[in-house]
Amino acid sequence: MKKNMLSIITLALLLVNIILTAVMMFSTTSTNRKVADLVTNITTALNLELTAPGEKSPEEQVSLADTEVYALTGSMTIPTAVETDAEGKSKQGYLMCNVSFSINTKHSDYKKNGSAEAMAGREELIKDIVNSVVSKHTISELQADAGLEGLKAEILAAVQDLYKSDFIYKVSISEVKYG
Q: For residue range 138-153, list pLDDT tens digits in order.
A: 888 888 777 788 888 8
In a domain, 15, yes or no: yes
Q: Is the pLDDT at 12 greater than 90, yes or no?
A: yes
pTM for this model (two decimals): 0.63
Calpha distance 63→7 (Å, rounded): 72
Full domain range(s) for residue 43? 2-49
Of 13, 29, 49, the domain-final residue: 49
- Per the rule left: phi > 0, alpha: psi between -120 and 50, beta: everything else, 52 is beta
- 58-72 confidence digits (pLDDT tens): 445 777 888 888 888
In a domain, 19, yes or no: yes
Same domain, yes or no: 99 and 27: no
In a domain, 63, yes or no: yes
In a domain, 168, yes or no: yes
In a domain, 54, yes or no: no
- Give the number of residues written for the chain: 179
Domain total for the chain? Answer: 2
In a domain, 128, yes or no: yes
Same domain, yes or no: 103 and 146: yes
Same domain, yes or no: 69 and 44: no
Q: Exposed, middle or buried, 165 (CB in 10 Å: 0-12/13-18/19+)? A: middle
**Mean of the per-residue pLDDT values for the chain?**
83
Same domain, yes or no: 71 and 102: yes
Same domain, yes or no: 44 and 125: no
Same domain, yes or no: 35 and 80: no
Q: Exposed, middle or buried, 174 (CB in 10 Å: 0-12/13-18/19+)? A: exposed
Same domain, yes or no: 66 and 115: yes
Q: Is the pLDDT at 32 greater than 50, yes or no?
A: yes
Backbone φ and ψ for 132, nearest 5 degrees, come out as -65, -35
Q: What is the CATH number of the domain that holds 102?
A: 3.30.479.30
